[in-house]
A and B are shown apart, each in its own frame.
Chain A
Amino acid sequence: GAGVSQSPRYKVAKRGQDVALRCDPISGHVSLFWYQQALGQGPEFLTYFQNEAQLDKSGLPSDRFFAERPEGSVSTLKIQRTQQEDSAVYLCASSLVDFEAFFGQGTRLTVV
């Protein structure tokens, strides 16, 4: 497709379960970002890739969060041993460097 695609759209996980969230960026976009959005808040930065290189992971809240983009296209955000405070919408965005960013529809994660 022409836009950023995220899957799944919704995920319910039991506390302690591992989850993997996928992002397919727009073809050719060098930059890829992951954001976390709590209800009623603006998105908060998690991590940033330029091609396959993870240039900034300063926003990852704990070592339970891990992101990769091994071939410089599709990215996966993995959360290990999920906790209730991880419940949020996870947004992925892609762009050419320093240009307009395009966001996916997000994955709504609910930890029960």
Chain B
Amino acid sequence: KQEVTQIPAALSVPEGENLVLNCSFTDSAIYNLQWFRQDPGKGLTSLLLIQSSQREQTSGRLNASLDKSSGRSTLYIAASQPGDSATYLCALNFNKFYFGSGTKLNVKP
């Protein structure tokens, strides 16, 4: 079974900081990797999708990278804002999605 680990489990930062969320996995034979955001009591919102052949994807202040050889992905958030506060989940697509437990981010005004 694919194991997905997200570090840290929780993170609290002041507004304006740049930050990195980490995702590691055990099996590199993935189709793609997707980063999601989940607000309390809500479903998952897709942030970025990285295909297996790609190294990174960018959307606005978000940048996600993928290194299959080391079994790692990172989500970089630039100039964090209080509205970024949420739980961030990475998911590996292996015909089905394997999720980490998420990183709960709190950005303080």
Contacts and interface: CB of A to CB of B under 8 A. Distances in A.
Interface stretch (A14-22, A71-79, A94-102): A94-102
A103 B36 contact: yes
A62 interface: no
A56 B41 CA distance: 27
Q: Chain B interface residue count: which class?
A: 20 to 34
Given A100-B34, A103-B36, A106-B43, A33 B49 contact: no
B19 interface: no
Interface of A: 4, 6, 33, 35, 40-45, 48, 55-56, 59, 91, 93, 98-106, 108
23 contacts: A4-B43, A41-B101, A42-B91, A42-B99, A42-B100, A43-B99, A45-B98, A59-B96, A93-B44, A93-B97, A98-B32, A99-B32, A99-B49, A101-B34, A101-B46, A101-B91, A101-B97, A102-B46, A103-B43, A103-B44, A103-B46, A105-B43, A108-B41
